[in-house]
Structure 1
Amino acid sequence: MKRYTLGVDLGGTNIAVGLVDEAYHIIDHLSRKTNLPRPESEVEQSIAEICRELVERNHLSFEQDILWTGIGTPGSVNPNTGIIEFNANFGYWDWHLTDAMEKLLPGKVYIENDANAAAYGEYIAGGARGSRSAVVITLGTGIGSGIILDGKIFSGFNSAGAEIGHTVIEMDGRPCMCGRKGCWEKYASARALEEDTRAALEAHKDNIMWKMVDGDLKKVNAKTAFDAMRAGDTLATELVEQFVRYVACGLINVINIFQPEIICIGGGVSREGETLMAPLRKLVDEEDFARNSNHRTKIVAAELHNDAGIIGAASLGRQNNK
């Protein structure tokens, strides 16, 4: 008899739930608006309602067909106690999510930080599968990261670790929302590339990028510079090369600390493929501390993209039951 798990990717905009089989395939999924701000109890009820709807829609029952439910959520998450100590995006503190959800849904509920859950998804079923140690980096609004060591999610003794985006690569550099200056995500995230592209366009009016965005800076995104570089634009080429150097700087730091088997790069920018990955590998090869070793960290693109959070959350019980 087939058995399934439920994976919940809890975001500030949407609650996405997937029905996942034992081969890590998403069989069906549902998504609803998170509708913040509202009390914790209402979010809990919404998660439960979507989970039940998905199970019923597939003519399954929790008792016979669902092994467990896993939830990936923003915030400082303690998976051992089931408590989210704080979730700044939601405005929740000391949120006893596991206890609440186990009262609303049959079976065991596991929780984990959303970036860690997504990293675990890539580790077991995506670009980092087959390794024992991996670091998954997501270049998005910030830089999300998850660390897997010997098959286990590593998040420090206080569940607040793996914030690699908030390591500094430029002393006294750009101010970051975390309170520091010069954080990696202020230079190497997709948002940073967008901001650098807009600044370059404001300073230089005569280039292909202006035509691509119809003279509207609001249309600039992280893909703009890559597209213009492919069209031969010199300014765009400089922007992409600078961005790649920033990304490589942080990756080399990660490798020198952990020497993981694989670093998996996710986020929309990762869809640039070898346009991004090839120069990244070249820079890393030149500066990685273990560059003379026969055993080198592989740098690969993510494969699961938006599904990583659901698959990782749905698989949390496997990690906990090892």
Structure 2
Amino acid sequence: MLFVGVDIGGTGIQAGVVNEEGKILYRKECATKVEDGFEKVMDDINILVRSLLGENDLDIYEINSIGFGVPSFINKKGLVTAVNLGWYEVEFIESLKNKFPEVKVYAENDATVAAVGEAKFGSMKGKDIAVMYTLGTGVGGGIIINGRAFTGANGMGSEIGHAIIGENYFDCNCGNNGCLETFCSATAIIKYAQKLIEEGRESIILDMAEGDIKTINAKMVFDSYREGDVVALETVNRFKLYLSKAMASMVNTLDPDIISIGGGVSRASDIILEGLDELVRQHILYKKEDFTDIVCATLGADAGIIGAAFLS
């Protein structure tokens, strides 16, 4: 049995044919031409999927289903508002059904989709209650309960990047202050390191950026942390403190079997995981009890395609 997964991003769309074991057999991608509007992007998705199948001598009737990950939530009416795609209450689900009438189609938030992939074939496989944090430019996430994605009564659940965990010195893009995203994303790490340097703190991070504070990235901060740089140490320790508070709240609320960390920031897994479980323990209610395993995701960028393929 074969499935197709499509991961829709702000700059590119990736599609893959996936087998029952979660292996991507064939893949193809195209640019997300946001400037051309919703209908053109949907036409490009149609062409992408059908080209992927045709180039590999597959008929669409050989495909069990096609799943889509989209950087937004999908409401009860199948409408999507995705700011970074320029979509505002577009009829996403209806359009998918029209483009692919031959096969079942499913769609979910892209971070939830990545969690599905990790739960079926990656770091969270075999766990009944699993939570994934995707730490990238922003913070997304997914909650898996008994093998199925939890999205709530209105499709808005699992937006764990917007859990409010404290006051911050800048507001989130969503308009609130104190969202996890403003403490634990790559953007947040960069902003805080820049803030300390602008306040006059010396740091080799600025040397790595060749003196241009605007070009600082999260990798520079983590690399400087390994060198014992004081600004990097403060920045990363602050990041880990707030991440541990968010995870402790999740443990107190949901008591998951496992928490997995994905996204670009997770490439610094050696730094992130070191001592993180003990930080979490400081904030959970039952401090002497066993609690969730904290790991890093294993599927990388493929989680979106694989998870989308297995939506149902």
The normalised TM-score by structure 2 is: 0.94
The question of 1:177 aligning with 2:173 is answered yes
Match of 1:89 among 65, 84, 87: 84
**Aligned residue number for residue 145 of structure 1:** 141
Q: Is the 8 A contact 1:264 1:300 kept in 2?
A: yes
| Equivalent of 2:129 in 126, 130, 133 | 133
Match for residue 5 of structure 1?
Answer: 3
Show the counterpart of 1:186: 182
Q: State how far apart, in whole Å, the 2-side matches of 1:162 and 1:203 are.
A: 36
Which amino acid counterpart does residue 304 of structure 1 have in structure 2?
A: L
Q: Which amino acid aligns with 1:201?
A: I
Q: Distance in 1 between matches of 2:228 and 2:70?
A: 41
Matched with 1:281 is 277
Q: In structure 1, what is the equivalent of residue 18 of structure 2? A: 20
Q: Which sections of structure 2, spanning at least 5 residues, go unmatched?
A: none
What is the distance in 2 between the residues matched to 1:250 and 1:244?
A: 10
Distance 1:211 1:173, change over 3 A: closer
Residue 310 (1) aligns with residue 305 (2)? yes
Q: Give 1:205 shift.
A: 5.5
In the alignment, does 2:243 pair up with 1:242?
no
Q: Take 2:45 and 2:5, find their aligned partners in 1: how far apart are those partners?
A: 11
Q: Which amino acid aligns with 1:73?
A: V
- CA positional deviation for 1:241: 1.3
Partner of residue 254, structure 2? 258
Residue 100 of structure 1 aligns to a residue whose secondary structure is helix
Residue identity opposite 1:76 in structure 2:
F
What is the aligned counterpart of 2:50 among 49, 52, 59? 52
For the structure 1 residues 193 and 47, does the alpha-carbon distance in structure 2 shift closer, same or farther, using more than 3 Å as the test?
Answer: same
Aligned mates of 2:239, 2:89 — CA distance in 1: 38
Secondary structure in 1 aligned to 2:274?
A: helix
Q: 2:97 aligns with which of 93, 102, 119?
A: 102
Aligned CA-pair RMSD: 1.8
For 1:211-230, what aligned pairs fall within 5 Å after superposition? 211-230=207-226
Matched with 1:204 is 200
Checking the alignment, whether the CA contact within 8 Å between 2:206 and 2:216 is kept in structure 1 is: no
Deviations 1:116-157 (A, max 9, x none): 111111111111111011111011111101111122211111
User: 1:173, 1:183 within 8 Å by CA — same for their partners in 2?
Assistant: no
- Whether contact under 8 Å (1:244, 1:280) holds in the other structure is yes
1:76 is paired with a residue whose SS is coil
Say whether 1:76 aligns with 2:78. Answer: no
| Rounded Cα–Cα distance in structure 1 between residues aligned with 2:168 and 2:52 | 49
Letter in 2 for 1:96: E
Runs of 5+ in structure 1 lacking a partner?
Answer: none
What's the % identity of the aligned pairs? 37
> Aligned partners of 2:175, 2:207: CA distance in 1, in Å?
37
Q: Is 1:174–1:183's contact at 8 Å kept on the other side of the alignment?
A: no
Structure 1 counterpart of 2:227, from 228, 231, 251: 231
- Matched residues in 2 for 1:41 and 1:167: separation? 33
Contact preservation (8 Å) 1:75, 1:84: no
Going from structure 1 to structure 2, the CA distance change for 1:171 and 1:272 (only over 3 Å counts) comes to closer
| CA distance in structure 2 between the partners assigned to 1:88 and 1:209 by the alignment | 32
CA distance in 2, matches of 1:173, 1:202: 14
8 Å CA contact retained: 1:119, 1:136: yes
C-alpha distance 16-271 of structure 1, shift in aligned 2 (>3 A): same
Q: Secondary structure at the match of 1:196?
A: helix
